[in-house]
Amino acid sequence: MARAFTPKVITANALLEGDAVWFTADDRWTPHMSEAEFITDEAHADLRLLEAQARQSEIAGAYLADAKEGPNGPEPTHFREEFRTRGPSNYAHGKQVDNASRT
């Protein structure tokens, strides 16, 4: 028996920045998971993933990631995606700098 579909978001790595990005409902790549399209239908998720994967000049490695609805938009359900929301960890840049200035 197949596993029941759980909500997803589409994520990838931006080619120019190398940072994790998420696909939005209006076909943009955003560095903020909370802005990602929250997908609850499996057929729609498969179609949107194909659309995202076709944008090879912008991203690499697009895939569906489990998500849950949070108060400000989609949130990760797995530590891998939680880690990816924080940005590269080799030194403070990108999201790490942005997040530090918000606290």
Residue 89 has pLDDT above 70, yes or no: no
Distance CA 69, CA 61 (A): 23
Between the alpha carbon of residue 69 and those of residues 19, 43, 45, 49, 94, the distances in Å are 23, 19, 16, 19, 25
| pLDDT digits 0-9 by tens, 65-79 | 999 999 999 999 988
Mean pLDDT computed over 50-64: 97
Q: And the tokens for 40?
A: 């609850």
Strand, coil or helix: what is 41? coil
pTM of the model: 0.81
Residue 27 pLDDT grade (very low, low, confident, very high; cuts 50, 70, 90):
very high
- Helices of type H across 1-103: 42-53, 79-84, 95-102
